[in-house]
Amino acid sequence: MDEIQKSLLEEIAGLHEVPAGAYNIRANGGMAGRNTTANIDIVTKEDKQGIDIIIKPGTKKESIHIPVIISESGLTEMVYNDFYIGEDSDVVIVAGCGIHNGGDKKSQHDGIHSFFVGKNAKVKYVEKHYGKGEGTGERIMNPTTIIEIDEGGYMELETVQIKGVDSTDRVTKATLKEGAKLVVGEKLMTHGSQYARTAFEVDLNGESSSAKVVSRSVAKDESSQIFLAKINGNNKCVGHSECDAIIMDNAKISAIPEINANDLNAELIHEAAIGKIAGEQLLKLMTLGLTEEEAEAHIVNGFLK
């Protein structure tokens, strides 16, 4: 792996070298490293690009790293990854995609991730997207995440896209059975002329299932963002979506929350707020000796932390 690839890996997964435990590193469309453990198997798909990650029932306290890095300008790929999280397991999966585009052709990573979370299993999925490179070629990422959570299962989804991705269209669809729980935390920042669309659709099918979808975003310069969150309460359930956005410069942000109660005992809430940085916040930090620009940076960093 060269220096550019190493720096991407550090940026998206916090890795300086190969991680402990199970991992699969995909670089420029091919496999750059893999390790399996007694409880976690990783198998290359034969009919299409991608891998199956199979976690044995009862696997506890193990982690899986599956970073994707692209440093070749003009590479376009579509990858299918399926995660089978066995019953009663408790694992952390760190994914992420870093694109370094030094050329003038667009580099694009599209991925469809499917999660089958077994009964009473617990999984935390962390996904970080990052782009850089001095080239004029676009850096594009379109992740689709399909989630099925079985009875009593729990999934936490943490996604971060702070820098350098020119265009993203993110789709997350989840269905939850009895007692299942989904927690989503999304952090997004767009700048320049970037575009980001993020759409959530959650079906709360099982009794006492619950979902919380929280998005915090900052749109700077001429960038634009669209946030869609649709929660369908089809049983006795609790659903909550929240979009909190800071708008700056000439950016545009749309938040379109939708909640559908199809059961008398569905409790659904949506909150959406878009606004510029409060003037009084800037004033307070300026009385501490910060310039207006420094104050703004602190407020944005804190908001997306």
Partner 1 sequence: MLELRNISFSVDSEKGKKEILKDVSLTIDDNKFIAITGPNGGGKSTLAKIMMGIEKPTSGQIIFNGTDITDMSITERANMGMSFAFQQPVRFKGIKVKDIIKLAAKDNLSTAGICDYLSEVGLCARDYINRDVDGSLSGGELKRIEIATVLARNTELSIFDEPEAGIDLWSFKNLIKVFEKMHKEKEQTIIIISHQERILNIADEIVVIADGTFRAKGKKDDILPELLKGTGGCKFYND
- Which residues in 122-151 contact partner 1 (CB under 8 A)? none
Cα separation, 184 vs 131, in Å, equals: 22
> Smallest distance, Å, CB 169 to partner 1?
26
Give, in order, the Cα–Cα distances in Å from 187 to each of 29, 191, 215. Answer: 27, 14, 6
Residue with tokens 């199970």: 22
> Which bin fits 221, alpha (ψ -120 to 50), beta or left (φ > 0)?
left
> Smallest distance, Å, CB 212 to partner 1?
17
Sequence-distant (≥ 6) Cβ neighbours of residue 53 within 8 angstroms? 22, 24, 40, 41, 42, 64, 66, 81, 82, 83, 84, 93
> Smallest distance, Å, CB 277 to partner 1?
10
# of chain residues touching partner 1 (CB under 8 A): 22
Site for partner 1 (CB under 8 A): which residue of 66, 160, 202, 285?
Answer: 285
Q: Is 298 in the site for partner 1 (CB under 8 A)?
A: yes
Closest CA to 254 of 209, 199, 299: 199
Cα separation, 26 vs 78, in Å, equals: 12
Q: Is 278 in the site for partner 1 (CB under 8 A)?
A: yes
Site for partner 1 (CB under 8 A): which residue of 35, 237, 289, 296?
Answer: 289
Q: Is 105 in the site for partner 1 (CB under 8 A)?
A: no
Q: Which is nearer to partner 1, 38 or 288 (CB)?
A: 288
> Smallest distance, Å, CB 14 to partner 1?
20
Q: Is 286 in the site for partner 1 (CB under 8 A)?
A: yes
Neighbours of 33 (CB within 10 A): 14
The amino acid sitting at 182 is L
- Which residues in 205-224 contact partner 1 (CB under 8 A)? 216
Q: Is 299 in the site for partner 1 (CB under 8 A)?
A: yes
Q: Is 31 in the site for partner 1 (CB under 8 A)?
A: no
Binding site for partner 1 (CB under 8 A): 216, 244, 278, 280-281, 283-292, 298-299, 301-305
